[in-house]
Amino acid sequence: MDSSPVTCLGIGLPSCLRDLPVSTPTSADSEDVAASKGQRVREAICTLGEKSQTPQVEVEEACYLAAGLSDVVILLERPKPRHNYIQRCPSLKAVDELVKLATNGTRSINNTSVIDAFLLKPVPEQARPTDSECFTTVEQILTIKQPRVLICCWSGECQNDTLALLRSRGVGSVAMRSVARLNGNEMIVYHSFHPATAVCWNKCQPALRALLAYHFAAAFLELRHPQEPPEWALKLSKSAAGTNWNERLSLKAADASFRSLLVIILGDEKVDSVWPQTESTPSHVWSEIPSTLVRDLPTTSHQPGALAVAEATLLWREYFSDKPEFQQVLSELLKLGNRQNGFY
């Protein structure tokens, strides 16, 4: 029986990324130290909540997210107004999936420290707390936790000198890995970007999802030994930086894009035999295409690279979910992504 494909954020992963994650070592903190840190972090968040008269339920949600292990900290930006956490928030669900991938399932968002840069301020127009109060509390939390690795998924203006050195400048705009010092201790910083960029606003841009997966896998691997981005990760970063932002295709354009990707994946002859190049795909042709894909995708000898396969996968998810063979074709595309050695 075939094993399930290894996926993250809806795409099949090639061996170059799939082989990176390892089981994460346990935190170096003793139980007493971890408990002390947890209590001090909670007090810092509660103090901010009292100053800003934030509803207690929001304070508790922020405390819960920040209560994870201290060795790796993830810094986000307003994952969702009125945080109805994790299961109803696409950004936090993505973080959970990324952490599970990066640690071979040994950790999740439930035991990893996640902090909102705009702590207890889910709406920018909200008067209290001020941005400065948020940043000061976040700096205080980082000083308490003393993480070995910080994954920064937040960019934007910041008047806090410490956080300004840690924040990201956006997709592909700075070196993805740097070394910083916090309260005299060295910390590795991965300058990533907000997961919503990939899973909410640019749903068919696979380079964004693949780059996020690399950032998280490499960041957790730092707990075992230092990492330098491989050439394929740098190339992914450049591809992600060139994304056509917020692009929504017409069905006609999606049809053409999917066909062109299948030519790369299966070859001209197989695609042309069932899918002629026309202004739009006739219904009688569409009725044959999915069954052809189910037959040919498992046996194709082409190695198009996982990025092309991932783009076809995302297009199939977004625009062709009404096809009767949707799940079968999706499964074969994910498996094909796994059979690739690299993204290119």
Per-residue pLDDT tens for 281-318?
Answer: 656 556 677 788 888 999 998 899 999 999 999 999 99
Give me the helix-helix angle, 31-52 and 131-145, nearest 10°.
170
What single-letter amino acid sits at 256? A
Spell out the residues 6+ positions from residue 166 whose beta carbon is closer than 8 angstroms to its own. Answer: 75, 150, 152, 180, 189
Token digits for 201? 């606003």
Please report whether residue 83 resides in a domain.
yes
User: Secondary structure of the chain: what % helix, strand, coil (to 5)?
Assistant: 50, 10, 40
**Helix/strand/coil (H/E/C) assignment for every residue in 208-267:** HHHHHHHHHHHHHHCCCCCCCCCHHHHHHHHHHHCCCCCCCCCHHHHHHHHHHHHHHHHC
251 vs 265: CA distance, rounded Å: 21
CATH number at residue 20: 3.40.470.10
Residues 61 and 111 placed together within one structural domain of the fold: yes
Residues 320 and 204 placed together within one structural domain of the fold: no
DSSP 24: P
114: which strand partners? 74
Q: 10-residue block means of pLDDT along the chain (344 residues)? A: 86 97 84 95 98 94 95 90 60 96 96 95 90 97 98 91 90 85 94 94 95 98 93 95 84 90 86 64 64 89 94 96 93 97 96
In 3-state terms, what secondary structure has residue 301? coil
Q: What is the pLDDT of residue 1?
A: 45
Q: What is the pLDDT of residue 274?
A: 64
Please report whether residue 149 resides in a domain.
yes
Domain boundary pick from 216, 241, 266: 241
Residues 261 and 320 placed together within one structural domain of the fold: yes
For residue 213, give its domain range: 7-241
What single-letter amino acid sits at 109? I
Token digits for 256? 């053409």
CA neighbor of 235 nearest in space, from 214, 204, 258, 259? 214
Cβ atoms of residues 96 and 86 within 8 Å: yes
Domain boundary pick from 222, 241, 260: 241
Token digits for 19? 């082989």
Q: What is the pLDDT of residue 173?
A: 67
Domain boundary pick from 182, 214, 241: 241
Q: What is the pLDDT of residue 3?
A: 79
Q: What are the tens digits of pLDDT across the range 192-219?
A: 999 999 999 999 999 999 999 999 999 9
